[in-house]
Structure 1
Amino acid sequence: MATNTFGVNLDTNPSLSKLTKLRVTKWPKWGCGPSKFPWTVTADTEAIYLLEGKVNVHVDGHEGSFEIGAGDLVVFPKGMKVTWDVTETVKKHYYIL
């Protein structure tokens, strides 16, 4: 199910055909353990597909947060400033557009 949360496109159940079309398995991988850090999207957009883990995402200028986890496809727009609160070790594919 695709939603837009604080300007972030979040697909919590992308179809296999969508993931295949995007060639997600060919994207580079990145991971980290539990931690908290700021991050600013400097590219036009950054797409991620979480393989493992959980993250509470706090978007600057917005109250509250939202959680992303294994199986989620997320697209962050250029200029967005967020804080990642990694609550479970993350492994993800990412693509910078």
Structure 2
Amino acid sequence: MAQDRQASSPAVVEKLGIKVEKEPSDARLRELGVKTWPKWGCAPSKFPWTYDARETCYLLEGRVKVYPEGSSDEFVEIGAGDLVVFPKGMSCTWDVAATVDKHYKFD
């Protein structure tokens, strides 16, 4: 059985308006109730997306480059083990390199 990771303050990085917390602790995931959130997945693909509400998601597997609209060639790369927050109103393109399976919640 995996041990809980250190409960020290997680490193949250914000880039292009997207907040990414790398490998949050099991305690943090339990506190958020991540396992009770709905799941969504998709095969490798590329598609536009606009967030009508703030989304928090936890990637169980996969790898994605997210290109926010208006950021030219800049992107945020997310993958398995990342807890990610996308702001309400963001328009972006998802470039899914490896099949995604994630829990998600809209606020």
Is TM (by shorter chain) over 0.5?
yes
SS at the partner of 2:85? strand
TM-score for both structures, normalised by structure 2: 0.87
Separation (CA, whole Å) in 1 of partners of 2:71 and 2:22: 21
TM-score for both structures, normalised by structure 1: 0.95
Name the counterpart of 1:92: 102
Matches within 5 A, 1:1-97: 1-43=11-53, 45-63=54-72, 64-97=74-107
| Consecutive unaligned residues in structure 1, runs of 5 or more | none
Percentage of pairs with the same residue? 54
Aligned residues: 96
- Structure 1's consecutive aligned runs of 4 or more residues displaced over 3 angstroms after TM superposition are none
- Do the aligned partners of 1:2 and 1:13 also contact (CA within 8 Å) in 2? no
Post-superposition shift, 1:69?
A: 0.3
Which is richer in strand? Answer: 1
| Consecutive unaligned residues in structure 2, runs of 5 or more | 1-10
Q: Aligned Cα RMSD in Å?
A: 0.8
Which protein is bigger by CA-based radius of gyration?
A: 2
